[in-house]
Amino acid sequence: MYASKTSRLVIPTICRLSRVTVRATAHLQCCGVSKGGTRRLCSVSLLNESGTEDRFMWRRTVARTFSTRQSLYPCPDIKIVEVGPRDGLQNETQLIPVEQKLHLIHRLQKAGIGNLEVGAFVSPKWVPQMADSDKIVQQLGKERQLDPSTKSKYSVLVPNQRGLESALEHHQGIDEISIFAAASESFSQRNINSTIQESMERFKDVIQHLKDFNDANDTRSPVRVRGYVSTVITCPYQGSIAPTQVAKVVELLRDLGCYEISLGDTTGVGTPGTVKNMLQEVVNVVPADQLAMHFHDTYGQALANILVGLEQFSIHTIDSSVAGLGGCPYAEGASGNVATEDVVYMLEGMGLSTGINLPTLVEAGEYICQVLNNRRNGSKVALAYKGKENCSK
């Protein structure tokens, strides 16, 4: 019943707006329920004017409230990775108590954020703010045991074997680990005290150890490995980075087995032009559906850069930070990540559903800004919301 209703409503609109012809054998299929039962995807194959096949996908919930603009973007299955609790807070001098970090995470979950980077198992001497990551994941693990229907996915940064061992002590609260490399030798040295090559050797051991852990714990879903490449545009110590060098490091992480590689414009200096040049090289080595965009917003270009990745390269995974918090201790002067509120506003405005409730997200951002001594909110959308609220009082 659902399929025929969707056919009736959706297919003619897709065809009209995208000027495609439905093939005689065009089919509508419900791809069914994925493991967590949350990602009900529908897809339809249509033949376009040049005779090739376009596949359109949408979430079941989106199809119900189908907006005509949705159909202009094939496969709009957007994933937002909220990095606020880690990247957002790692550079703060004021130590945030565990309870407040957990409160932030809960508020983000309430807003509908499904993927959260919640901590880092790095040296507390280097990044003291992340020293309580064990307590965070321990608590999240307990909460999940009490309520197994919790759908959120939690990830943490792991730089070496020691970090992995500590993280796995609380594996109930961890779905993936992120290893982090850089395209620049100087940044790699400053950030993780190793050359790029040495870091890959470390990561190889980390991944082997994780594989052994996963094999020994076949009753739980395997902990996955995500990879980061920092300084994909410019290095604070070395200057511009060649796109071919970025692609080389992306390839190394791919070969190690990362299921997704996040491209960090650490200093936030990228523009649509430099980002396009970089992505053109990177998509030659890793397909777009295994890439993520992790753009800082120092020069206010992050949304424009995301749009380039989304529209020109079909990269659908976006890292962002509530209230635009963040920065790297080894990239002085760089501002926070692109604000999650701004990303959600842009995507929803393009007819791409994120499943995130913007007003609740804005409240989460306001909360953490208050915790940080009434820090000015780095999200333009949050400021606009608050401005409107004040006017109507």
Ligand X SMILES: CC(C)(COP(=O)([O-])OP(=O)([O-])OC[C@H]1O[C@@H](n2cnc3c(N)ncnc32)[C@H](O)[C@@H]1OP(=O)([O-])[O-])[C@@H](O)C(=O)NCCC(=O)NCCSC(=O)C[C@@](C)(O)CC(=O)[O-]
Residue 288: left if φ>0, alpha if ψ -120 to 50, beta else—which one? alpha
| 168 makes contact with ligand X (CB under 6 A) | no
| 195 makes contact with ligand X (CB under 6 A) | no
Binding range to ligand X, per CB under 6 A, among 135-143, 191-199, 217-225, 234-242 = 191-199
| 127 makes contact with ligand X (CB under 6 A) | yes
How far, in Å, CA of 205 to CA of 196, rounded? 15
| Number of chain positions touching ligand X (CB under 6 A) | 25
Query: Among all chains, which residue has been given the structure tokens 């190394």?
Result: 252
Name the residue nearer to ligand X (CB basis): 41 or 241.
241
Question: C-alpha angle with apex 373: 370 to 379, nearest 5 degrees?
Answer: 55
Tokens of 300: 């206010």
Neighbours of 63 (CB within 10 A): 20
| 191 makes contact with ligand X (CB under 6 A) | yes
Tokens of 39: 């990602």
| 203 makes contact with ligand X (CB under 6 A) | no
Name the residue nearer to ligand X (CB basis): 76 or 327.
327
| 162 makes contact with ligand X (CB under 6 A) | yes
Q: Helices (DSSP H) in the chain: which residue ranges?
A: 2-18, 60-64, 98-110, 133-146, 161-168, 185-192, 196-216, 243-256, 272-282, 302-307, 313, 340-349, 358-371, 380-391
Name the residue nearer to ligand X (CB basis): 19 or 125.
125
Contacting residue, 58, 228, 313, 345, with ligand X by CB under 6 A? 228
| 155 makes contact with ligand X (CB under 6 A) | no
Contacting residue, 180, 203, 313, 345, with ligand X by CB under 6 A? 180
Contacting residue, 21, 94, 145, 193, with ligand X by CB under 6 A? 193
| 121 makes contact with ligand X (CB under 6 A) | yes
DSSP state of 169: T
| 87 makes contact with ligand X (CB under 6 A) | yes
| 89 makes contact with ligand X (CB under 6 A) | no
Contact status, residue 84 vs residue 108, Cβ threshold 8 Å: yes
Rounded to a whole number of angstroms, the minimum distance from the CB of residue 132 to ligand X is 12
| 336 makes contact with ligand X (CB under 6 A) | no
Buried b (16+ CB within 10 A) or exposed e, 142-169: ebbeeeeeeebbbbbbbbbeebbebbbe
Provide the binding-site residues for ligand X, judged by CB under 6 A.
87, 90, 120-123, 125-127, 157, 159-160, 162-163, 180, 191-193, 228, 230, 264, 266, 294, 328-329
